[in-house]
Structure formats: structure tokens, C-alpha cells
A = this chain, B = another copy of it.
Amino acid sequence: MRERTVSIVAALWPIWLRKSFLTPSISRAFSDQILKSPALSSLDITDSWSSTRKKSDHSSTQESQNNWTAKILDGNAIAKGIRSRIASEVSRMNELTARVPGLAVILVGQRRDSETYVRNKISASEEVGINFKMTALPENCTEYEVCNALSRFNEDPSIHGIIVQLPLPQHLDEAKILNVISLEKDVDGFHPLNIGNLAMQGMEPLFIPCTPKGCIELLLQSGVEIMGKKAVVIGRSNIVGLPISLLLQRHHATVSVVHAFTKDPEKIARESDILVAAAGVPNLVRGSWLKPGAVVIDVGTNPVEDPRSEHGYRLVGDVCFEEATRLASAVTPVPGGVGPMTVAMLLCNTLESAKRAFKFTSNE
């Protein structure tokens, strides 16, 4: 027996704590929905081209004279509100069906950052009343052992979402392992069928990947309009850059994807109203990359050594935060921006999955 399985039946939040998150204005605005993000297929509009198109006004040239003081997009606060609404929904589900959603995580090895992320997911699940199960496997485990653990969660009716904490050790085939996860429980949304349905107009993926979904929700809840805006996504990874570019396009942004082979990424970035940095390179995006007044979403979470920090390292983003605050109209901090939104979306996807499994609707 090489693995240890930890099963945590999370406690529901006390009522007073849940209530305290819902200020009157928020509860009015979102009383009947957890997220602002609409169903993707509801966004589909036939592209109707006009041959006499207006050129965009060049107000940005005037804006470049100004110095902005960016609004900090507080992912912690927005995620807290979402978790509160999830907790409320889980509690109602429990009252009406005597069941709660279940989330399972496979953790391989002992990477410090992975352990931190999993700890955050456990504690967030506990808070909202989602059951949490974890299978921890040693660094040198085999592909068979990982797939075996996944299969057990696939068959477990108390589990509605399964995630494999990435990255996996090099000797394991990530694509092959992720492919074992049942489509109905792929709450990370990394299956190619989910990505295809995310890309195609008229289609609806079972799950939208958590980080991209969190970025869009952050924009929507902050009142940032996406339709018709120029957006640049820096980085094209399968789990962040690619799906966020597809999702922004479904929201009718004009999207450019910049990667390591792009000749002048700075110029493309500087022309964009919305910049999403997901390259995994600390401080790649300097002030000179930003259009004055742009909205900046920093997905980077890069550990850099810091002897003064409690754990010997601290997290920095892909964006030079200090410079961004002087040029952007809004920017996410690292940590405290996209990170908590990602966790909230994981809970949200797990709840959605359980609702599908229980045929439980919001109107019950």
C-alpha cells in the first residue's frame, strides 16, 4: 500500500459567517446567481459585417498623456463573495437532497508549491461545505498507480469533480493521465473535448477551465466591458493561455496571442485594452508594454527566493506591478488576484457537476 487517502467531510460555514459576506448591495445584484459569467452559447451572435466600418477613435493617444493610478482588482474579496454564494447553494442542496458535492485531488510527490495549492483547495472546500478526498502518491509512483487512483474516483458516486495537481513528475505522461478522468468529473476542463467546445461558437463545454473562468469573472464583476475590446494574451499554455484566448473570443474581444516566437510582443501588448499575462516569467511585462488605461490581469505566480519571507520564497507575477499601477486603469495583484478566483471557480465547477449529477436546479 503505497498511497495514503485522506477523506475530509468539510463542515458547513456557520450561518452568521455566510451572511456577513453578503452585503445588501451584493445580495441584491447576485441573489439568484453565483457568477456573472453567462452561458457561452447565450453570447453567440451572428457576425454581421458592414462594408462601411467606422474607424476607432484614437482617444488612447490622449490617454497616453495621463498618468493613471490603477484600481487594484481584489480577487480575494470577489472570490470571498462567490464562495459565500456557493456555500449557501451547497447548504440548500444538503437540506433538500441530504447530499453535498464531492471533490477529489490526486497529489504526486512533495512539491512545496503544489502542497500549498492543495492545502488552499482543502480549506476552501471545507468552508463551503464541499466534501474533499485526496490521494497522495510518492514522487516515484507509476502511471498505473495514478490511473488506478483516478479510476476509483471516477467510480465513486460521492465525487463530482476530480483534479490532478500539476505539474506531475517528468516520468509521468500528463496527457495520458488527464485523459483517464471521466468527462463528467473533469472540473479542471482540460479534456480536448472541453477545449473544443469552448472554442466553437454554438457549443457549451461541460466545464470551463478554472483560471480562465476566474479571469473573465473578475473582469465582469469589476465592470470591465469585453466585447469589442482588443485583448492580448501573453502565453499559450494548454491550461491557461489557450483557453483564456478562446474564452475572451467567445466574449467578442479581438484577441491576439503572443508567445516566445512573437517578434515584437511589447508593441502588440501596448495596443491592447485588456492584457492577460500568463507566460510564467517574473516581471516580463514592464510599463512600456502597457497601453495607458489598459486593464491588466496577471496570471503569473512565480516563486522567487526571499530569505525575509516565512517560507524562504515569495510569489511574484508576470507583470511589474509597480509600473502597472502607474499606467493601467486596473490591475490584479499577485498574490490575491487571479489565484483565489481560480480556487473559487474550482468549487463552482464542482457544485455545477453535483447539480447535474443530482438533477438539482437553482429553483428547487
Chain A residues with a Cβ under 8 A of chain B? 47-51, 53-56, 175, 191-197, 199-203, 227-228, 230, 235-238, 242, 246, 249, 252, 254-268, 279-281, 283-284
Contact = CB atoms under 8 A, between A and B. Distances in A.
Contacts of A49: 260, 279-281, 284
A319 to B, nearest CB: 13
User: Which DSSP category, helix, strand, loop or mixed, fits chain A's interface?
Assistant: loop
Contacts of A256: 254-256
A205 B24 CA distance: 50
Given A55-B264, A279-B47, A199 B246 contact: yes
A86 to B, nearest CB: 28
B191 A196 contact: yes
Contacts of A54: 263
A53 B259 CA distance: 12
B55 A200 contact: no
B192 A235 contact: no
A260 B200 contact: no
A268 to B, nearest CB: 7
B228 A55 contact: no
A222 to B, nearest CB: 20
A202 B254 contact: no
Contacts of A203: 175, 192
Contacts of A284: 49, 51
A249 B227 contact: no
A249 B7 CA distance: 42
A194 B48 CA distance: 27
A246 B255 CA distance: 12
Contacts of A56: 263-264, 267
Contacts of A175: 202-203
Contact of A235 (B47, B258, B259, B268): B47
A236 B201 CA distance: 9
Contacts of A259: 47, 249, 252, 254
A265 B54 CA distance: 10
